[in-house]
Structure 1
């Protein structure tokens, strides 16, 4: 039977790659599960559900997925898939990278094709680019969705610069009601802060990725013009390890030894609070 199941994960940002080309991310324990079947009939049909909400899948993404799987892996026929995600969409939690990863891994398993982390990452990045879902290539996000640890990447050259181990520390995520689509992002707002993002990149490359995560959060809040007060309030608590804005926003997060205290602190804001942890596992079969 040409059927398979895959599980990948959401992630949070260490470093936004828009201003410098260097990006960083680490996975969080929010699952994206895909059940996929290869069928004789051409075309792709995908049912996508994120946190109980049905999500439309763009025709551009469907076409990009089919093209890349045919070009790289010789896919014959079509796909039928159901993707269920715990990752809130369009909030900066790498939902697009995880969605594509889940489909690619599911397809390769259904085709009985051997694959590596690099195989999946490069295929997923190419699909995201063709579908218009990424500004930078998002190699860091793609890798963090697939594998444990912190990834720092050169997204222009498609290279892994650093891969650090990480503890499965608790993380609190605040998900505001408003979404922020990639089409709404103004790269110039990030590029105007390039000199400061370079300092965050230096921290990340030197191993101080938690410090990079926090500086990146303040800079991204400035770039997308949102109030950074939730980050400041979280950092004033002695058990907060790092805090920031993830992706291109607008979600906030804090890595902390006492997640309930952060959740209480942010409970007055309008939105959803998720308590999870940084990721300590890789692929699931």
Structure 2
């Protein structure tokens, strides 16, 4: 019983750490999962290119999916391997992409069909149980699973909005890494009034200005520099710290983003000029 699936990364419009409301959009950088189910034994995971990385999330995704959707005579054992264009712990939703891809690959191996949002929620549950997220990251996971841009209530795992979002995207990812579970939640909650405004803008479809306000607020709360944000404005439609950092994402016209790239890539790290993605995760 073998399965394969892939899921895109995502960028932040509104970080849900402040008030439980989040918003994110899919980016055309991809994580692929391959699952092989066995007749006996536990689940073992492997992350390509990161032999020492924590595999608890992808292993739990396989376990939960098998427990929920396998027929009674199917064993719980298996192997899962992920390969990714998305750097780990960079704020680009690598965990959500890996969880989505792993859940769908396991369903593919089981030849089982479920609603995509339910598959997304299963990955979010695994992320909480594996301790890799504070909020459950339903905003990030829904954008990765469904594509386009989403707005969510992470406290209830409820989808508030989902629509197509066609933009060019510039990503700068510094060499440093920041794990979401280590973020200063108390500092983030202090900016809840600003996050409330950002959530209202996102629900109005004003994603660019929403993500820019989010970027300045969360850079302040989490101690990241605002210079990359200032450099992006006013030419870009929107720019933000992505997740809890350290990466930054900007959306807008490709020419403006190309000009911005010449400034961002002076710094250490990696830049990508890519696009949003309206196709979410996919099996096979």
Please indicate the TM-score interval, normalised by the length of the shorter structure. Answer: over 0.9
Give the alignment partner of residue 243 of structure 1, picking from 218, 239, 244. Answer: 239
Retained in 2: the 8 A contact 1:46–1:57? Answer: no
1:99-248 aligned within 5 A: 99-167=98-166, 169-236=167-234, 238=235, 240-248=236-244
Aligned partners of 2:278, 2:127: CA distance in 1, in Å? 25
What is the Cα deviation at residue 55 of structure 1?
4.5
Contact 2:2 2:34 in 1 (8 A): yes
- Contact kept, 8 Å, 2:240 with 2:248, in 1: the verdict is yes
- Report the 3-state secondary structure (helix = DSSP H, G, I; strand = E; otherwise coil) of the residue aligned with 1:19: coil
Instruction: Show CA shifts across 1:58-110 (max 9, x none).
Output: 36436633542243224623121221100011011000111111111000010
TM-score by length of 2: 0.93
> Is the Cα contact below 8 Å between 2:66 and 2:106 reproduced in 1?
no
Give the match for residue 270 of structure 2: 272
Alignment partners' CA distance in 1, 2:278 and 2:51: 28
SS in 2 for 1:97: helix
Q: What is the CA–CA distance in structure 2 between the aligned matches of 1:152 and 1:54, rounded to whole Å?
A: 32
The CA deviation at 1:282 is 2.8
Kept in 2: contact 1:179–1:250 (CA 8 A): yes
CA distance in 1, matches of 2:201, 2:108: 38
Which residue in the other structure is 2:68 paired with?
72
Unaligned runs of 5+ in 1: none
User: Alpha-carbon deviations, 1:217-239, whole Å to 9, x = none?
Assistant: 11111111011111111113x3x
Correspondences of 1:88-99 after superposition (within 5 Å) = 88-99=87-98
Q: Would the aligned equivalents of 2:43 and 2:76 in 1 still touch at CA under 8 Å?
A: no
Please give the TM-score of this superposition, normalised by the length of structure 1: 0.93
Contact (CA 8 Å) 2:9, 2:26: kept in 1 or not? yes
| Contact kept? 2:58, 2:80, Cα under 8 Å | no
1:54 partner SS: coil
- Do 1:117 and 1:146's aligned partners in 2 also have CA atoms closer than 8 Å? yes
**3-state SS, counterpart of residue 5 of structure 1:** strand
Hey, what does 2:45 align to over in structure 1?
Answer: 46
What SS class does the counterpart of residue 151 from structure 1 fall into? strand
Indicate the SS of the match to 1:160: strand
Structure 2: tracts of 5 or more residues without a match? none
Aligned length in residues: 278
Q: Give the distance between the partners of 1:38 and 1:102, measured in 2 at CA.
A: 15
Q: Report Cα offsets for 1:131-170 as digits up to 9, x if no partner.
A: 0011111111111111221110001111111112211x21
CA distance change for structure 1 residues 58 and 141 in 2, over 3 Å: closer, same or farther?
same
Q: Secondary structure at the match of 2:108?
A: helix
